[in-house]
Chain A
Amino acid sequence: MADKHKKNLSKYTVDLNMPGAFEGETVTRRRFMNVTAQGLGGIAAAAFTLPALGFALGPVFSREPFEWQIIGRPDDFQPLVYSLRVIALVANVGEAGKSTAYIRKRDPAIDVEPEDEYNQIIALTSRCSHLGCPVEWVESASIFACPCHGGVYNFRGIRIDGPPVRPLNRFYTLIRNGYVYLGPMYSVNVEIKRFSNRDPGQPLDGIGQYLYPSRFSTATLPPTTNLPLPPAGIPAG
């Protein structure tokens, strides 16, 4: 049977001298099948690789909700003495999710940073801003000292010696209903200017704040309207 397309062969594939190639055919059928099969294989591979990768990377982009927690009454804290409180940072991991905070009342003579409703009570984390070891308040020397690599901070949590790169992190605090509420952690530079929570080891002064950008996962300031109520049995002060 004569090939009806014989007269108008495709100029794109004429050099291949294929039977049945007709005008308008820009891609040989062999090449088309080849690309299709490999493309389908690629799609099939991506169909399980991409979800798995997203699954593993998900926590980097998801933001955990953080709730205000009660840490005591305003009268429990004094301006010049630190009180230690055990606080819950992460739920459902037992002891590993707890941390400690050093808490005192704001003293305008010492705390020269601008005052607002979130720093009437000063709450410092016990986490060293060098690499995250637990610092300890040394009453006799009036310093925070880190046991790991010798970081030293003054009363306000500002580094005075050793390898730490910025002051101790702080927590938002709020006085409502006669109780002190503790919120999420934030980082500060040497002037106690607030930044979103950075990990230890990341400086915030000078170029540091641009080298270590804010993360997607850090808790934002939760609304101050639906505060958890104090447990029953404790009368409101």
Chain B
Amino acid sequence: MPRLPTPPIPKVLQPKPKRPGQNGNGNEHGSGKVSPAEAAQEAGVTVVDWIDERTSLSGGLRWLMFRKVPHGNWFYTLGSATLFAFLSQTITGVFLAMYYRPDATGGAYESMRYIVDDAFLGQFVRGMHKWGASVMVILIFLHMGRTFFFGAYKYPREMTWIIGVVLLILTLAMSFTGYLLPFDDRAYWATIVGVNINGTAPFLGPYISDFLRAGPEFGATTLSRFYAIHMLLVPGLIIALISVHLYLVAKLGITAPPWTKPDEEPELDVAEV
């Protein structure tokens, strides 16, 4: 089986031979002095070499970053856009957790009021998290639509699609669990309704509701349970699955748009046939 050539390093990043007169090029016409810029460059190269010698990361990075991709269009950025929405949710979420208190007796609402009204930039960070959640869901559906209409879910990329569907479900789980956290009237009643919708699944539904609520009624630990699912359980799963999703994207390459035609018919080598 013919092997694909290793992905090349772009020209700008390839090491250039030094000009005559520069250090280390054999002809010692120069003064032999090392400028600070050269010293800094040398230090950087040393550090990178030190790490690479011990981890061999550069091969993997080259494999990931310098792939050949077909000529696409702006729709191909929707996946990265979703990824960036997720990163934004992660960062803002981590910092919101520094102020938030999952206390159902009133502390949760009070801490939200503090974040929005009193904390410096609190309203901004909370707004990014709140609106970013909607943006992420919208972007996921657009990304999914692009994949569907371009036929990019077909062989050999079925597993990427399946993992993407699981990621969609996990994102909706994030939306559901996050909706309760402000703990105002809307959050409370929307969660009651949402848990009861879960409960309408036959046979297992009643027990799923009990698991989500930590009991037969909305109780003292329901909020902390939702908080733990929202900030620890589901994000961990999402990060793991995004890694697999991205690995498959890099491994299998991305599809060309369906209207793309081959540049030239490759000439068959009779000897190979």
Contact = CB atoms under 8 A, between A and B. Distances in A.
Contacts of B202: 211-212
Contact of A92 (B188, B215, B218, B220): B220
A132 B217 contact: no
Given A131-B193, A215-B207, A217-B210, A59 B188 contact: no
A200 interface: yes
A46 to B, nearest CB: 19
Interface string A79-96: 000000000011111111
Interface centre among B106, B192, B221 (most CB of A within 10 A): B192
Nearest to B206: A215
A213 B211 contact: no
Contacts of B218: 90, 93, 96-97
Interface in A118-153: 131-134, 148
Contact of B211 (A59, A64, A90, A211): A59
B216 A133 contact: no
Interface size grouping (class) on chain B: 20 to 34
A199 interface: yes
Interface size grouping (class) on chain A: 35 or more
Contact of A199 (B188, B203, B209, B219): B209
Contacts of A198: 206
B196 A131 contact: yes
A219 B217 CA distance: 10
B104 A60 contact: no
Interface centre among B104, B188, B215 (most CB of A within 10 A): B215
A197 interface: yes
Contacts of B214: 59
B101 to A, nearest CB: 14
Contact of A218 (B193, B216, B219, B221): B216
Given A93-B105, A94-B105, A217-B210, A64 B215 contact: yes
Contacts of A211: 202-203
A59 B206 contact: no
A154 interface: no
A212 B216 contact: no
Contacts of A93: 104-105, 218-220
B189 interface: yes
Interface centre among B104, B106, B216, B217 (most CB of A within 10 A): B216
B203 A219 contact: no
Given A131-B193, A215-B207, A197 B200 contact: no
Interface in A205-227: 211-219
Given A60-B207, A211-B202, A212-B206, A199 B196 contact: yes
B216 A64 contact: yes
Nearest to A130: B196
Interface of B: 104-106, 188-189, 192-193, 195-197, 199-200, 202-203, 205-207, 209-211, 213-221
